[in-house]
């Protein structure tokens, strides 16, 4: 077995055998139903669906706090899609997880994948879509709001123009 997205089948300990996709949406069944529709899947198996070699099951995220979670706190988002691949090649699994992520993004969901192959997915599994804020400067000073993560969250019309000396 190789981990280079080759055509070898998955083994039981393959890093491609599972992935979790966190979704910032309250109702897992609604997320799965919209995903089924977005992907054009006709079969309805309740809270789970099949995308290529991937079985995707939607569930409530037990780590959800019930409060509004910022995009970089994705582990607290209310829905998690557990993805398991028991067959197929690594490239097929990557393609299936990418299809799920892209369908969620197109449908307006905030979604981020956590898996061993994040770097092979679009936007590194979503990490590039929701960048973490820069760490606070030494001494614990509060950020001035001028870091790139803040600019990405603000609409262009609300950005302040920086004046150069």
Interacting residues of 143 by C-beta distance below 8 A, sequence separation 6+: 133, 134, 136, 150
What pLDDT is recorded for position 131? Answer: 73
The C-alpha atoms of residue 49 and residue 4 are separated, in whole angstroms, by 26
What pLDDT is recorded for position 70? Answer: 58
pLDDT (tens digit per residue) in 33-82: 999 999 998 777 677 899 999 999 999 888 777 666 555 678 778 899 99
pLDDT (tens digit per residue) in 115-144: 999 999 999 999 898 777 767 666 555 544
Entry pTM: 0.73
Exposure b/e, 117-154, CB count within 10 A at least 16 = b? bbebbbbebbbebbeeeeeeeeeeeeeeeeeebeeeee
């Amino acid at each position: 077995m190789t981990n280079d997205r080759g055509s070898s089948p998955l083994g039981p300990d393959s890093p491609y055998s599972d992935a979790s996709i966190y979704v910032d949406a309250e109702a897992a069944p609604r997320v799965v139903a919209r995903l089924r529709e977005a992907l054009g899947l006709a079969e309805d198996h309740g809270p789970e669906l099949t995308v290529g070699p991937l079985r995707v099951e939607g569930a409530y995220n037990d780590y959800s706090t019930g409060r509004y979670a910022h995009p970089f706190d994705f582990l607290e988002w209310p829905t998690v899609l557990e993805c398991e691949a028991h067959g197929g090649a690594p490239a097929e699994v990557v393609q299936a997880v990418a299809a799920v992520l892209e369908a969620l993004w197109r449908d307006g969901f905030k979604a981020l994948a956590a898996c061993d192959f994040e770097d092979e997915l679009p936007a590194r599994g979503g990490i590039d879509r929701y960048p973490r804020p820069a760490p606070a400067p030494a001494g614990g000073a509060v950020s001035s709001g001028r870091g790139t993560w803040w600019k990405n969250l603000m609409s262009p019309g609300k950005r302040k123009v920086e004046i150069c000396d």
